[in-house]
């Protein structure tokens, strides 16, 4: 089936819907989404959205910029960090005008709380910068933006899975191909501009806070089309996932005063971050937890520690941390009012992804040459505003700031450019892939390969890495890739075939894992979330640069581009 639009947005999370809000009513725009929009993973973001409003105490956008740059271990492009910190303030006010239900101060202004890595006066002490709606801030962003989309009559294609990106021979984006999961039909979306807002790829790891749908679809499709990915070696593990399940317990728990304790009852972050303590950046806290466990100070000698809220007022736990309290009661059978909570680091957020400039245009080289008509925003994109490690609450502000900028630039682009013709047989790649999966008569099961991938990535490419472990992971990926050619699925029908969807998603996960491991093996230093035990120091002389990885006919090819440094020169990162 053929559709024609001025602009197509793939993904209905915060970035996609924020972009749609800029285009609605001004051009013909469609949003394609694998899920019903308000089930997008933005809804799982809990603790808040950062902006230097200074409603509770003194704050300035440049302090926010500094914290973002330092938190990213100086791999942050500082032009992007300045855009983020400056425009966060307007973005919050715009959300408020659209009806976002922020927690309020007694005088009616937006309340703010502390969050990891956010400080006053360039690192002096924690600052209250996180605007929030209890512990369901992302959920409220989704609801607010979806209401705006419905009001402005944005066209949605729910439960449509993107399968291919359409590019002309001279590299102009002309649309996408998607599968209607309900019917099994192929749909070609012909457009002047495409925004990819497809989210992350945390499902490459066994223990993750990411939803089942986060399989790197947009990232992998771009990679398959010969475009580069940036900084894929940097993947963040959030310190406080529910033990064994990986379900996220928000940093808001520590922002409200929660404490991490080891098996001896010690507040162990005093050893690792004496100034910010439990509110140090996530990479620091996650490594500290693993250090405690490795040195035998896990709870009862096991591989977890406690998040302790028992000293907080019951009212704070029940009202400001209501969802987190429900999670603990539901999944652990514990009451956080009286019981410490078993936690372990959980795969949470991709700092790397599709390279873009500050207007969301996808770029293809070290000179930031844009692909005409192709944009990306949100977790699938790499601006790079998070560098080697994202600060808490900077993901939601990334979505609204850069989703908005991408939407505005797309509107200009579609008003100034004509529709390019589609390539011949635009859906042939997508059809071939689906038919192969449906007809393949192998012996391998998708779920088995996926479980082995996740287990191996957790063992050899997670918080601590070594050259030997990463090479072992590369060998495992070659084995899994070969076995993937011999998969079979039980459901051969066309209608709502989740077997088919999961097989396609496994292909995307293998692509993302391959890029992560190749980039991690090449980067012989430790920086942010990338920690090499065989290269434990940061090496600015050789590695203060972004990694670009491209798939070629001869395998993966790595190249590099410089970090944009404007205001803050790299220095030692202490908290």
DSSP 418: P
Partners of residue 242 on adjacent β-strands: 343
DSSP 530: B
Query: What stretch of H or E contains 287?
Result: helix 282-294
Q: Looking at the chain, how many residues does it have? A: 575
Cα 49 from Cα 144, distance rounded (Å)? 14
Q: Are the C-beta atoms of residues 405 and 194 closer than 8 Å to each other?
A: no
Tokens 């230093």 identify what position? 525
Termini Cα distance of the chain: 56
Q: Are the C-beta atoms of residues 181 and 161 closer than 8 Å to each other?
A: yes
Cα 354 from Cα 218, distance rounded (Å)? 9
SS3 105: coil
Tokens 């400056």 identify what position? 86
SS3 127: strand
Say which of 114, 203, 261, 282 is annotated catalytic. 282
Query: What beta strand segments (E) does 40-138 contain?
Result: 49-50, 112-120, 125-131
CB burial string 434-460: b at 16+ within 10 A, e below: beebbeeeeebebeebbeebbebbbeb
Query: What beta strand segments (E) does 94-248 contain?
Result: 112-120, 125-131, 155-158, 160-167, 173-180, 186-196, 229-230, 235-242
Q: How far is CA 130 from CA 10, 55, 187, 481, in A?
A: 28, 10, 41, 43
Q: For residue 280, give both structure tokens.
A: 């140090």
Q: Are the C-beta atoms of residues 362 and 242 closer than 8 Å to each other?
A: no
| 345 Cα distance to chain centroid | 16
Q: How far is CA 553 from CA 473, 536, 556, in A?
A: 21, 34, 8
Cβ contacts of residue 114 below 8 Å, gap of 6+? 126, 127, 128, 129, 130, 255, 279
Q: Within 13 Å, how many C-alpha atoms sit on residue 18's CB side? A: 29
Cβ contacts of residue 243 below 8 Å, gap of 6+? 304, 332, 342, 343, 344
Confirm whether 282 is a catalytic residue.
yes
DSSP 257: T
What values do phi and psi take at 572, rounded to 5? Answer: -60, 140
Q: Are the C-beta atoms of residues 390 and 251 closer than 8 Å to each other?
A: no
What residues are labeled active site?
282
């Amino acid at each position: 089936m053929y559709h024609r639009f001025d602009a197509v947005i793939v993904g209905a999370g915060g970035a996609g819907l924020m972009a749609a809000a800029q285009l609605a009513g001004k051009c013909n725009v469609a949003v394609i989404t694998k899920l019903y929009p308000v089930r997008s993973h933005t809804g799982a973001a809990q603790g808040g959205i950062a902006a230097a409003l200074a409603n509770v105490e003194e704050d300035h956008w440049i302090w926010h910029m500094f914290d973002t740059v330092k938190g990213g271990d100086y791999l942050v492009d500082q032009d992007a960090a300045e855009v983020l910190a400056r425009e966060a303030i307007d973005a919050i006010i715009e959300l408020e005008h659209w009806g976002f239900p922020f927690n309020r101060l007694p005088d009616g202004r937006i309340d703010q709380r502390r969050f990891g890595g956010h400080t006053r006066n360039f690192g002096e002490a924690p600052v209250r910068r996180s605007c929030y709606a209890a512990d369901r801030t992302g959920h409220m962003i989704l609801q607010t933006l979806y209401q705006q989309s419905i009001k402005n009559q944005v066209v949605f294609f729910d439960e449509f899975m993107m399968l291919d990106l359409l590019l002309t021979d001279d590299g102009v984006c002309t649309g996408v191909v998607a599968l209607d999961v309900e019917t099994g039909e192929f749909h070609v979306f012909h457009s002047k501009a495409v925004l990819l807002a497809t989210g992350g790829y945390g499902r490459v790891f066994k223990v993750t806070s990411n939803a089942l749908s986060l399989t790197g679809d947009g990232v992998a499709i771009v990679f398959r089309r010969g475009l580069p990915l940036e900084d894929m070696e940097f993947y963040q593990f959030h310190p406080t996932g529910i033990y064994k399940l990986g379900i996220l317990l928000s940093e808001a728990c520590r922002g409200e005063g929660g404490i991490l304790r080891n098996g001896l009852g010690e507040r162990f972050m005093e050893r690792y971050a004496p100034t910010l303590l439990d509110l140090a950046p996530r990479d620091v806290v996650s490594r500290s937890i693993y250090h405690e466990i490795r040195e035998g100070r896990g709870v009862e000698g096991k591989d977890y520690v406690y998040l302790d809220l028992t000293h907080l007022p019951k009212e704070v736990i029940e009202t400001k941390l209501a969802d987190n309290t429900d999670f603990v009661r539901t999944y652990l059978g514990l009451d956080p009012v009286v019981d410490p909570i078993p936690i372990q680091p959980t795969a949470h957020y991709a700092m790397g992804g599709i390279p873009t400039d500050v207007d969301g245009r996808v770029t293809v080289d070290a000179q930031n040459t844009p692909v005409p008509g192709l944009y990306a925003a949100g977790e699938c994109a790499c601006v790079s505003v998070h560098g080697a490690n994202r600060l808490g609450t900077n993901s939601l502000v990334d979505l609204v700031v850069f989703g908005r900028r991408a939407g505005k630039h797309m509107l200009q682009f579609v008003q100034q450019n004509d529709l390019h013709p589609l390539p011949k047989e635009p859906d042939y790649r997508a059809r071939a892939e689906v038919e192969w999966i449906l007809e393949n008569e192998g012996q391998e099961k998708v779920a088995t390969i996926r479980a082995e991938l996740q287990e191996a990535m957790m063992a050899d490419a997670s918080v601590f890495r070594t050259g030997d472990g990463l090479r072992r992971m590369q060998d495992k990926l070659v084995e899994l890739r070969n076995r993937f050619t011999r998969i079979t699925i039980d459901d051969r029908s066309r209608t709502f075939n989740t077997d088919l969807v999961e097989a396609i998603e496994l292909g995307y996960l293998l692509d993302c894992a391959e890029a992560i491991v190749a980039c991690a093996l090449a980067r012989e230093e430790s920086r942010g979330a990338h920690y090499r035990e065989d290269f434990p120091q940061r090496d600015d002389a050789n590695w203060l640069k972004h990694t670009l990885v491209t798939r070629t006919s001869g395998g993966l090819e790595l190249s590099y581009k410089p970090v944009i440094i404007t205001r803050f020169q790299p220095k030692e990162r202490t908290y």
